[in-house]
Structure 1
């Protein structure tokens, strides 16, 4: 088999010429093996017509294998010549032939240095794109955080509005006065709670004494 990769031919045909030749070789070889089995079965049938024959089936099999080996050696030599002809003349694209999809390279040739510079520019653009994408994600996260803070602020404002309405309902319009009013009521409520706790404890003790 040829060691030439023949990449340009593979681009044109859609398969490597070596793969094509390998499949042809396997197909011919399988056909040769099948034919030898057929020949062997025919000889065995003919042998049944000669009951006094001193040739056994084992001897016929050995002879068939020797003949198959002989045929395979000659077939490999013949196929090697056929492969050389096909790969050079039939499945080979001349060096002066350019495929239609590659004509653009002929119209706009570039050096290895130019290609490397273009590749470096592409890498830089990709890095910039990744940085901008990362910055965009950070900005979206910040916007979501601001929305959360805004929602909390709106809740606080609503709470203050409700507090102011309560204070107005009790005749207090100034916020400082309202806050002082709520503080006093809170202290009174705490005092009432303490009195309730004391009375509850006294009742529990009296119940225990009884």
Structure 2
């Protein structure tokens, strides 16, 4: 015989409310439609189990009746017919129960706020105020980006200053060495040292020029 479970409705066959009820789902942790679907399936499973138990009782009773002309197939047909009648009644009752639950019992009234949304009641904004806040946020973001670029430019300039400072230290060290050279030659003043170095440089250049001229003259002769 065919099992009663093959006559069960699937979740897709159950016509339920299409309202998402997201606020209720936020509060309960589940959608009210899912709750009602589980109730429907539980009642339906219980109805099938009862029908199977009733059928078994009828079959046992018929076994005790001598010369009984009622076959198990006839019993199953009658049981299925009665099951369809009960399902129809149950579906009509469930529609009313669904409306009651989704409209009143599992519905959060529009004037009720969840604890985590109480701040909306204290700080309510109109559409225009919200647009102004959005614009102010965008301006602050642009200002932050500008300040960030300025900060990066300042950091780059600071690194450049460090490089210049290092070169300046090298130049000062070179001047110290020049001053020490001047002192070794009897000139304690730094300006005198520079004059001394310049004079010696000219002398060396004159000597080099004379050597080059003499070398060219010798080659020609």
Q: Above 0.5 in TM-score? A: yes
Q: What does residue 102 of structure 1 align with?
A: 117
**Match status 1:90 vs 2:96:** no
Which among 64, 67, 80 is matched to residue 65 of structure 1?
Answer: 80
Aligned-partner Cα distance in 1 for 2:136–2:76? 70
- Moved >2 Å (runs of 4+): 110-126
Distance of aligned partners of 1:49 and 1:120 in 2 relative to their CA distance in 1, 3 Å threshold: farther
C-alpha separation in 2, matches of 1:51 and 1:120: 91
Q: Tell me how far apart the structure 1 counterparts of residues 135 and 75 of structure 2 sit (CA, whole Å).
A: 71
* Residue 52 of structure 2 is aligned to residue 25 of structure 1: no
- How far apart are 1:111 and its partner, in Å? 3.8
Higher relative contact order (CA 8 A, sep 6+): 1
Q: Scaled by the length of structure 1, what TM-score is found? A: 0.55
Aligned-CA RMSD value = 2.9
Unmatched 5+ stretches in structure 1: 137-210
Distance 2:138 2:37 in 1: 41
Q: How far apart, CA to CA, are the structure 2 residues paired with 1:62 and 1:84?
A: 33
Between the aligned partners of 1:87 and 1:13, the Cα distance in structure 2 is 13
Equivalent residue runs for 1:39-78 within 5 Å:
39-78=54-93
Residues paired across the two proteins, number: 135
| Structure 1 residues 56-205: aligned runs within 5 Å | 56-112=71-127, 115=130, 125=141
Q: Please say if 1:9 is aligned against 2:24.
A: yes
Distance 1:49 1:88 in 2: 52
Deviations 1:111-130 (A, max 9, x none): 4455566667778959x88x
Greater displacement, 1-10 / 75-84? 1-10
1:109 and 1:25 map into 2 onto residues whose CA distance is 40
Structure 2 residues without counterparts, runs of 5 or longer: 1-15, 153-221
Compared CA separation, residues 36 and 122, structure 1 to 2 (3 A): farther
Shift of 1:86: 1.5
Q: TM-score, normalised by structure 2?
A: 0.53
Task: Quote the residue 1:157 is aligned against.
Answer: none
Q: Distance in 2 between matches of 1:118 and 1:112?
A: 10
